[in-house]
Amino acid sequence: MAKIFAVKKLETGELTVVSWSSATAFINAGYTFIDNPFICLSSTSDYKDEGMYGEELEYISPETPMRNGERFRVAYTKEHVDAHNLLHNALKHHFKGKTFEPPIH
C-alpha cells in the first residue's frame, strides 16, 4: 500500500509536507489526484518505481543566461523548486536515505 505525500502552502506562506497512510485515506480526507490544493503530490510507489522526485531541483532565475550547450530549460518558480525539494527529502527520509532512478524504457 503506497503512502501519499504532498506539499501545501500555509496561510503564512510557509510550505509544509503532509502525508496519508494510503490513497484511500487521501481520498477519504476529501482530496482527489486531479483537483487538489497541493503544489507537489506523490506516492511512495511513484518515488520507488518511477523515480519521481528522486533528486532535488536547482532554482535557476529566468534572468540567468543559458549555459553552454543548453538549448532549453524548464522554468520552475522558486516556490515550486522549494516544494519539490521538500517532497524529495520527505520521500528520501521515508526510505531511510535511499533514492531511486527513473526506469529505463
The pLDDT tens digits of the residues spanning 59-80 come to: 998 888 888 877 877 889 999 9
- The pLDDT tens digits of the residues spanning 6-29 come to 999 999 999 999 999 999 999 999
Domain ranges for the chain, please list them.
4-94
pLDDT of residue 96: 94
DSSP annotation of 101: P
4: exposed, middle or buried (Cβ count in 10 Å: 0-12, 13-18, 19+): buried
pTM over cut 0.85 = yes
Strand order from edge to edge, sheet including 40-43: 15-20, 4-9, 40-43
Residue 41's pLDDT band (cuts 50, 70, 90) = very high
The answer to whether residue 5 scores a pLDDT higher than 90 is yes
